[in-house]
Structure 1
């Protein structure tokens, strides 16, 4: 019985098999080295430093939140937030505090040396941290919330020493405050008091910092148990924290920081981008460029660049406003003002819509940011500059439109009125003459042969001027007729 021929297995070439075996061996060697290095690694973990300078904003909140998450994921034993801030937005502050309270690793708030401060929102962050430390020459406090949406309301004045403890004496001052202001202050006082009780710090002074806007130096804060310790610099802080047990959301942590490696997290491109676009001036300019870019694209389809740039600027501006405390009335006035400025280019209002658009835009820009917090709000020079640019735009567009309307018509049947020509055939049409009482003939106007009609007979070769048009018949008069009338005997 014949044997069936079997198909041989196709094996890779010898060189390829050798190359694959060498790669596998090298990979196993690398895995072994990594395991040995991990086993020989020191047990002491890193300390992460998160520098925060300037107002507490959406950019700084995003940076601190992501840095705390990154520090926990990399196995850091401590995160130190170096603060130097005059305060900031309430929403951003609460976002940072939520991240601190939920952090699985201890968080230390350190008011950095060199005259730094942790005022307003910074005081809340210090109270929320697991460890609160200050360098000599620094201060914290003045935690009274800035009234949102009420620029005319002033912060409560600090009590005089003689009035301390006199509840009745402070009643008239409380009565002068609006209900909204009292609600904001009471809410802020309860918030910081809860943080102080959570960390076991001076709750009475915390509430006083909110209601009376008081501040403390480093030595005074340590004496009144507002902070846990003072340190000259970061190495001194880490030395003093060595061996301390800190309770976090995941349980107690014993710190070993005296010889720990310090890793500083610097703001990345995302933080810088948020810091730029969340500036109220930049957000307003982006909105304006976006609206004008879309207008030019819709008015001149096919340019592409104005539409693309306008759409990007508009979306980025709206994203920035979503992170900022804005007044929707101010935003609506801005859009209304830009709409009026654009409508001025199409409607014969002779500047009425343009002027109204400038007024609406300026009022909306001044009302856009709904807070009196320092560092926020659109300054008057920026509003004036953008409004002036809009006024210049309206002036040029209106002037071009006005000149275009006054320009004589150069195409169509209306362009014939006022044109001059020459009679080429003055033969009369008796029927037309009897019915209309006018002489009818043919003339050449603009190089074209037209049927013409005149009140008086016209000789061949006479020069005429068109005064009207009725279908395919032109009403004409002789160009010599005024001169003939002027030399009558």
Structure 2
């Protein structure tokens, strides 16, 4: 066979047998990079394309083919680069995780702190709930609740105790600073935390329930409320391993304890002078949070004090009984001013806003329904007074209703246990101030009437009965002149164009001095037809009675 044909045959056989690359390993007869004995010798095989098949004397033997060093280097180099990138990325990932772990270990633990300073009320309850949620989201080690309160509402106290008992983070109550108290509702909130601490020269206790005005409850009702609160105390003391007998006495006998006495009796856990010493003292303490036992890490903690939000501060002001009462009365004055002098918009808008905010504040507080009715009745009577014969029975009734509402709005005719040693009441100074302001407003109606203003207060009966009556011009009105109404002649004035003699007119009002205000029939306001019922009501006003006695 010619050499060229033999070479081509070997190449085709190489391609069929070996394939494009000589990469198979483990097979002794087709090994690439292994050793093959040929005629008693050994030859090295490399990783190269092809392999020549040598047929001599019907004997098959392998021999290495010529390799392309550049192609083999490129093929193997790509795999090496890929493996290097994989190793580098894996190393970066390991180092990143290690760095995060070390950073977490080096970062100081976080402790959130809030202040409950003042009465326990619905806004305080909202404040606590918000900060507990934030402590959970920020994975805080603990939440410290600094307390200085005279007491508050039983409903808010129960809700806050429930929040603390079920908090997803460890809670620490701290009666602080020296001279502070955790009285009444503050007692139950203090013992509900995982760790209860007091500062020196503070006190806790005196949790006997009273009415909203600070008075004692009737015996039967007192017994029911005592049983309810002491049952709550026993359940909390059992969950927090506290001396429930000593705590019960704060309700049954109104007992109060100093910080050292509370510590000796097992009411609290520690006495600490400041927050730093507290955090160092409780560090390592194990507490039960749900089904999990946690060890507190508070030594050297990062402290983040959480104040009240703008909305909580606004609602706190709005729920002040004095502010609520003032907003309702000021709102009423603004609405009345708008009704008497429509078109200004400012007083009316501010008045409606004041009424809305005032009644919203009432909705957030425990109020007596009788007081609310008296408050609304006073508003209606003052509105009537602004429309009738100044300083009458409606005005006097409005003053009386508002003063009684001030006493009864947050009090009880039939006492209920709505508060603990922190009565909600309106200041006597506020009641006196707004009583005087209401008298001045009613007196203003009188003065406006006497001066020919929009109010018809103290208009003589003779001229009053002429309003809405028709007449005839005797002498041209330019702008004043004489008119004839019935069989009597009166001085009149028009604010429009001149009205000639003999023309018809309608009396629409009375100026100062008894001068009648008139217009032509086509220009008469439609509301004149409704004056008849006002006149009938006005006959029974105090001003009308006083005027009749003077005329006698």
TM above 0.5: yes
Residue 336, structure 1, aligned to residue 377, structure 2: yes
Of 17, 42, 55, which aligns to 2:104? 42
Distance 1:33 1:98, change over 3 A: farther
How far is the alpha carbon of 1:289 from its aligned partner? 2.2
Of 320, 344, 358, which aligns to 1:317? 358
Give, in whole Å, the separation in 2 of the partners of 1:35 and 1:281.
58
How far is the alpha carbon of 1:364 from its aligned partner? 0.7
Name whichever of 285-294 and 75-84 sits farther off: 285-294
Residue 401, structure 1, aligned to residue 465, structure 2: no
Is the contact made by 1:55 and 1:375 (CA closer than 8 Å) also made in structure 2? no
In the other structure, the counterpart of 1:54 is 118
In the other structure, the counterpart of 1:288 is 329
How far is the alpha carbon of 1:411 from its aligned partner? 9.3
In the other structure, the counterpart of 2:432 is 384
In the other structure, the counterpart of 2:532 is none
Of 371, 377, 386, which aligns to 1:345? 386
**Residues 277-317 of structure 1: CA deviation (Å, up to 9, x unaligned):** 11100011111222333333344443222232222222222
Give, in whole Å, the separation in 2 of the partners of 1:330 and 1:411.
40
Is the contact made by 1:58 and 1:274 (CA closer than 8 Å) also made in structure 2? no
Name whichever of 191-200 and 342-351 sits farther off: 342-351
Distance 1:396 1:301, change over 3 A: closer
Distance 1:88 1:413, change over 3 A: closer
Is the contact made by 1:338 and 1:357 (CA closer than 8 Å) also made in structure 2? yes
How far is the alpha carbon of 1:350 from its aligned partner? 4.8
Name the SS for the 2:426 alignment partner. coil
Residue 448, structure 1, aligned to residue 497, structure 2: no
Distance 1:126 1:387, change over 3 A: same
Distance 1:449 1:111, change over 3 A: closer
**Residues 310-355 of structure 1: CA deviation (Å, up to 9, x unaligned):** 2222222222111111111101101101211110111237511100
Distance 1:412 1:280, change over 3 A: closer
In the other structure, the counterpart of 1:206 is 247
Is the contact made by 2:212 and 2:424 (CA closer than 8 Å) also made in structure 1? no
Is the contact made by 1:86 and 1:122 (CA closer than 8 Å) also made in structure 2? yes
In the other structure, the counterpart of 1:456 is none
**Residues 142-200 of structure 1: CA deviation (Å, up to 9, x unaligned):** 01112247x6x437xxxxxxxxxxxxxxxxxxxxx432222222222222222112211
Compute the TM-score of the two structures, normalised by the length of structure 1: 0.70
Residue 147, structure 1, aligned to residue 211, structure 2: yes
Of 219, 236, 259, which aligns to 2:277? 236
Residue 102, structure 1, aligned to residue 154, structure 2: no
Paired positions, count: 376
In the other structure, the counterpart of 2:138 is 74
Give, in whole Å, the separation in 2 of the partners of 1:259 and 1:215.
33
Give, in whole Å, the separation in 2 of the partners of 1:113 and 1:134.
9
Is the contact made by 1:345 and 1:401 (CA closer than 8 Å) also made in structure 2? no
How far is the alpha carbon of 1:39 from its aligned partner? 4.5
Which blocks of at least 5 consecutive residues in structure 1 are unaligned?
1-31, 156-176, 422-445, 452-470, 472-489
Name the SS for the 1:450 alignment partner. coil
**Residues 235-261 of structure 1: CA deviation (Å, up to 9, x unaligned):** 111111111110022521111111211
Of 178, 182, 195, which aligns to 1:131? 195
How far is the alpha carbon of 1:267 from its aligned partner? 2.0
Give, in whole Å, the separation in 2 of the partners of 1:96 and 1:123.
12
Q: Where do residues 124-273 of structure 1 align in structure 2 (5 Å cutoff)? A: 124-148=188-212, 153-154=215-216, 177-249=218-290, 251-273=292-314
How far is the alpha carbon of 1:447 from its aligned partner? 6.9
Distance 1:91 1:412, change over 3 A: closer
Is the contact made by 2:144 and 2:172 (CA closer than 8 Å) also made in structure 1? yes
Distance 1:187 1:314, change over 3 A: same
Distance 1:37 1:63, change over 3 A: farther
Q: Superposition RMSD on alpha carbons, in Å?
A: 3.1
Q: Where do residues 435-474 of structure 1 align in structure 2 (5 Å cutoff)? A: 448-450=500-502
Give, in whole Å, the separation in 1 of the partners of 2:311 and 2:97.
35
Is the contact made by 2:148 and 2:182 (CA closer than 8 Å) also made in structure 1? yes
Give, in whole Å, the separation in 2 of the partners of 1:290 and 1:131.
47
Name the SS for the 1:137 alignment partner. coil
In the other structure, the counterpart of 2:526 is none
How far is the alpha carbon of 1:42 from its aligned partner? 2.5
Name the SS for the 1:75 alignment partner. coil
**Residues 422-441 of structure 1: CA deviation (Å, up to 9, x unaligned):** xxxxxxxxxxxxxxxxxxxx
Compute the TM-score of the two structures, normalised by the length of structure 2: 0.63
Name the SS for the 1:374 alignment partner. coil
